Each structure stands twice: as structure tokens, then as C-alpha cells.
Amino acid sequence: MKTGRPELTPTAIKAGKLLAHRLAGQSTDLMNYDNVATTVFTPLEYGCVGLSEEEAERRRGKDGIEVFHAFYKPLEFTVAERDASRCYVKVICERGGDQKILGLHLTGPNAGEVIQGFSMSLQCGATYPHLLQTVGIHPTCAEEVVKIHITKRSG
């Protein structure tokens, strides 16, 4: 049965623990299913947290979102002379205002590790200006996320 909730083992474990604490009268906390990070472990990993571009557009309208995106070349691809044409980062934000980040998507080496780190920032209400204020660790794939500045709208 499709519930709209992530079908991930860690999500089920956390929800079960929270339920057990509620049943035992130790807590009233409910599971927060927003911004649960996930990764597809294929030879070129894909990781995401938050909304897809399509879902953000459905909720906010096409003019209500800004999509920052870029292709990048990881250091390990340079040394091995691998094709990096599929290494891609996309950050979906509210347009205008504080530019709250609605979703983050990454394909490339270690995408799961990178997305796990950014998932907490989305839980805390990270904005695009927060992202730009973050100093990247050079040379990592995560650095590509914090220096993203090209929008789909700008070309």
C-alpha cells in the first residue's frame, strides 16, 4: 500500500521507536517524514532530500521556485579520466523572500554521504543564502553544492 511515506528501513525503525515511546508514555513525538534523505547506490550514486523539482512546482507554481543547477567534475574522475557528464547537482528553492531550500539532488561519487550531511540543514530550514555562506571542503563533491549559482531561468 502506498502511503506517501519513504519506504526505507531507517525510517521504519525510527517511526517504530517513536511509537514505542508513545505507547510507553515516555514521549508524544511523532515521526517527521519531511526531508528524509535517500540514495540509490548505483555505480554513479544518486542522492536526494526534500522535494523534486516537479513536486515543488506543483506546490508553489512555476514562478514560485528557483532551480539552481550545475554539472561538475569530481577530482577522482579527473585522475582516472572518467566521463563526468552525468555528475550533476540541483538545488530547488523558494523564489523571493528568504529562498528556503525545498530540495537538493546530486549524482556523483559519494552522493549518499553528501546528501546525509545536507539533510539536517533542510530540517533546520536552510536557505540559499546559508548555502552560499558555507565554506566548501576542497576538493570534494559537497563543495560543488555550496558554490552553485546558475539557475535554469538564467540559463
Containing 79, the helix (H) or strand (E) segment is helix 75-80
The reply to whether 21 belongs to the active site is no
Through-space distance between the first and last CA atoms of the chain, rounded to whole angstroms? 40
Sheet of 38-40, strand order: 38-40, 46-50, 101-107, 88-94, 65-71
3-state secondary structure at position 143: helix
Q: Helix, strand or coil for residue 128?
A: helix
Q: Which of 21, 69, 130, 138 is catalytic?
A: 138
Residues that are catalytic: 138
